[in-house]
Amino acid sequence: MDELNEINNNLSTKAVYDYNLVRQAISGNQKAYAELLNRYRESVYYMMVKMCNNKDDAEDLTIEAFGRAFKKLEQYSPDYAFSTWLFKIASNNAIDFIRKKKQAMLFSLDNKTNVHDSDSENHSANLKANSLDPEEHYIRKQKIDTVRLIVDKMKPKYKEMVELFYFQEMSHEEISKKLDLPIGTIKAQLFRARDLLFAALKEKGTNL
């Protein structure tokens, strides 16, 4: 009780409400995750747009920020507002993304000035392949039967996401229509499902 009173004294009413949502989410309340996403998705998105000046990148970075935050939720400390913690994660992730994107562009431009035109197409294809999300690439390369064994043990919600996205190769928009859920929710849940799947695949190591 003393700790809760101290938190109430240090944080605003809004921040205390967020902290209660965080505690509910950690305990497994999926509605709490959804509410945290809905409360700050727009704010994070506009911050991402300002940082990267690209709406598509901003959308992806927004979902990735929430995915990273939700993965580390137990590390959140009520010494400061959840929104401050979330924005810091989003900002750091965006800075890293922008830096890598600039490096890729410089690498591409540098190579274009040093290769013949006949090699340009192959170089472009290699650069694109190397820029794929390593987790995404790893999951897609695994044997279907091995992946299915892991997926069958996942929670129904995540199992369905993996089934639709990886096995049926449906887009975020198609899954959104099928499940009648916002695309933002689909991306957030798929991020968590992919993270769980990748961790399970990685744990198996040489057994794959």
* Per-residue pLDDT, 185: 75
One digit per residue, the tens of pLDDT, for the chain of length 208 reads 445 455 555 678 898 999 999 999 999 888 888 899 889 999 999 999 998 888 888 888 888 888 889 888 999 988 889 999 999 999 998 888 888 777 665 544 444 444 444 444 444 444 344 444 555 555 555 555 667 777 787 888 788 888 888 778 888 888 888 888 877 778 777 777 777 777 776 666 533 3
DSSP-derived letter for residue 165 is I
* Per-residue pLDDT, 87: 94
* Per-residue pLDDT, 146: 67
* Per-residue pLDDT, 46: 92
Q: Which residues contact 89 (CB under 8 A, 6 or more apart)?
A: 65, 68, 69, 72
For residue 147, give Cα distances in angstroms to 167, 190, 198: 10, 15, 10
For residue 88, give Cα distances in angstroms to 41, 67, 85: 14, 14, 5
Which DSSP string do the residues of 128-168 spell out, in sequence order? HHHTS-HHHHHHHHS-HHHHHHHHTTS-HHHHHHHIIIIIS
Q: Which residues contact 95 (CB under 8 A, 6 or more apart)?
A: 51
Detail the DSSP E strand segments found in the chain.
Answer: none
Helix (H, G, I), strand (E, B) or coil at 72: coil
* Per-residue pLDDT, 184: 72
* Per-residue pLDDT, 85: 94
